[in-house]
Amino acid sequence: PHPKQPDLEDGPMTEHMIMAEAVAELLIDKGVFSAGEMREMLELIDSKSPAEGAAMVARAWTDPDFKTRMLADVNAAAAEMDIDAGTIPIRVVENTPDMHNVIVCTLCSCYPRLLIGLPPDWYKSRSYRSRVVREPRAVLAEFGTVIGDDVEVRVHDSTADLRYMVLPMRPEGTEGLDQDALAALVTRDSMIGVSVLKSHHPE
């Protein structure tokens, strides 16, 4: 039998849902933007994939000056590549042999959507949001990512005013690959920090 999908309206409107709807209606009424422009922005956000974030990672791996600028200002670095990262500041945190970073939003699901697409369901789950700040190594191990005891694990909590993105380490054996080939290796989960990119040996 085909399961019935509950309608969104079947559940009670939360305080935040009511506030978001009221603010949107107010901004449309005041002419800050139109209903059509709001729909277009939501459509743009929904259509995003991790590809643009991956392209930035690949360029950072191959262009040290760009990497420096990206570490200083992700939004400005994205604009250099004609990528719209939005107006909310994004900070990139770099994985190194001594440091592994992972991102979370403990309150909801704040996330650099314009760079790496919609957040996965597990990122929005209460279990991930509450546990990764308390026991990050255990949570990472559940993703198949075992971090050595000699590596520091740092958790970054995104907010409405600041988002994070991980710059994963470049895998070994990729020295001969161009930026497009490197970008194809970068995954959404590696830019969240729950996975590590594996070594790749070109044929």
Instruction: Report, as residue numbers or ranges, the catalytic residues.
Output: 105, 108-110
d(CA 73, CA 53): 14
d(CA 153, CA 150): 10
Element (DSSP H or E) covering residue 92: strand 90-94
Inter-helix orientation angle 64-72/51-62, to 10°: 130
C-alpha 49: how far from chain center = 10
Angle (nearest 5°) at CA 199 between 164 and 50: 35
Start-to-end CA span in the chain (Å): 48
Q: How far is CA 149 from CA 97, 136, 146, 153, 180, in A?
A: 12, 12, 9, 9, 34
